[in-house]
């Protein structure tokens, strides 16, 4: 008996018309049956936000011939929740892929990323999930060098699955010839934010978030090191944020 093709949910945070999601869905079509659910506008930096104070819209659209696509008024996480509950009706897809994001989601950026939060939501639902990001913020980004790795990594996950409560954070360097794949840890880094104060025509101040990324982690086993040296970084991510190593310390405190 011929094995049924896997069903693959494709989501993103750059919006349904972003070039990155087109590259991703076309690559996933080589592996299985694709369903796309994506925000109707860019949602970068939304993290794991969900919509609770206003209604959500979910409209079927025809942007690419032969692709089942839905446009969502909510966040990337909303897209996954609606897909699981309304489109798949509880019969979960075999794989959830998010991206390809325009811009990296390495190091601490994983916490802010709408791309990764969509993949995290997939993993929370028990779906093997991957987030993909490219080190190029422009709409003219060339995804072609990354696509063989996108396909290879997705196929490996379909073939072997992932450990429970785990997903993959995959980042691509902006190079025509990546050197290969490095399985890494998340680098320890942070944003040193600044706020640029400006005045509107009514002389009221407003602020633009600016700043620089501070990276003091010199390890050669990190995602930052891999990307700076031309490799594709693959970081296994978990959504259990318990600091297990701190539990014995807290148990030694004297609570009344």
Q: Is residue 164 part of a domain?
A: yes
Output the pLDDT for position 139.
85
**Per the structure, how many domains does the chain have?**
1
Model pTM?
0.92
Output the pLDDT for position 2.
66
Please name which of 3, 2, 1 lies closest in space to residue 159, comparing C-alpha atoms. 3
User: What would the two tokens of residue 201 be?
Assistant: 């025509």
> How long, in residues, is the chain?
256
CA distance linking residue 157 with residue 17, whole number of Å:
26
Output the pLDDT for position 1.
59
Q: Is residue 200 part of a domain?
A: no
Q: Is residue 168 part of a domain?
A: yes
Q: Is residue 48 part of a domain?
A: yes
Cα Rg of the chain, angstroms: 19
Give the pLDDT confidence of 136-157 residue by residue, as tens digits.
Answer: 999 899 999 999 999 999 999 9
* CATH number of the domain bearing residue 41: 3.40.1210.10
Q: Are 228 and 135 in contact (CB under 8 A)?
A: no
Q: Is residue 192 part of a domain?
A: no
Give the pLDDT confidence of 153-181 residue by residue, as tens digits.
Answer: 999 999 999 999 999 999 999 999 999 99
Q: How many CA atoms lie within 13 A of 54 on its CB side?
A: 5
CA distance linking residue 35 with residue 28, whole number of Å:
10
Q: What residue ranges in 75-173 does DSSP mark as E strands?
A: 95-102, 129-134, 166-172
Q: Is residue 118 part of a domain?
A: yes
Question: pLDDT higher for 23 or 197?
Answer: 23
Q: What is the dihedral of CA 146, 147, 148, 154, to 10 degrees?
A: 110
Q: Are 230 and 175 in contact (CB under 8 A)?
A: yes
Distances 111 to 44, 78, 119, 126, 165 between C-alpha atoms, Å = 12, 17, 12, 20, 16
> Residue 16's beta-bridge partner residues?
none
CA distance linking residue 123 with residue 238, whole number of Å:
9
Domain range holding 112?
A: 7-186+218-240
Q: Is residue 229 part of a domain?
A: yes
Q: Is residue 161 part of a domain?
A: yes
Give the pLDDT confidence of 209-253 residue by residue, as tens digits.
Answer: 777 777 788 888 999 999 999 999 999 999 999 999 999 999 999
Distances 104 to 27, 60, 65, 73, 251 between C-alpha atoms, Å = 20, 29, 29, 24, 38
């Amino acid at each position: 008996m011929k094995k049924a093709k896997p069903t693959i949910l494709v989501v993103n945070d750059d919006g349904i018309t972003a070039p990155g999601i087109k590259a991703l869905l076309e690559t996933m079509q080589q592996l299985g049956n694709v369903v796309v659910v994506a925000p109707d506008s860019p949602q970068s930096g939304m993290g794991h936000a969900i919509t609770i104070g206003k209604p959500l819209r979910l409209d079927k659209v025809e942007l690419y011939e032969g692709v089942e696509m839905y446009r969502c008024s909510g966040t990337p996480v909303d897209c996954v929740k609606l897909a699981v509950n309304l489109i798949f009706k509880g019969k979960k897809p075999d794989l959830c892929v998010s991206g390809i994001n325009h811009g990296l989601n390495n190091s601490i950026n994983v916490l802010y990323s709408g791309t990764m939060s969509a993949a995290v939501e997939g993993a929370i639902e028990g779906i093997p999930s991957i987030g993909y990001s490219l080190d190029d913020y422009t709409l003219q980004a060339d995804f072609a060098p990354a696509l063989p790795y996108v396909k290879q990594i997705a196929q490996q996950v379909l073939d072997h699955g992932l450990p429970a409560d785990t997903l993959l954070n995959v980042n691509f360097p902006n190079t025509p010839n990546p050197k290969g794949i490095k399985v890494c840890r998340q680098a320890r880094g942070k944003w040193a934010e600044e706020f640029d104060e400006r005045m509107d025509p009514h002389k009221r101040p407003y602020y633009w978030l600016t700043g620089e990324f501070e990276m003091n982690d010199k390890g050669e086993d990190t995602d930052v090191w891999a990307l700076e040296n031309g490799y594709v970084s693959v970081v296994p991510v978990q959504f259990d944020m318990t600091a297990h190593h701190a539990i014995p310390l807290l148990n030694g405190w004297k609570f009344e």
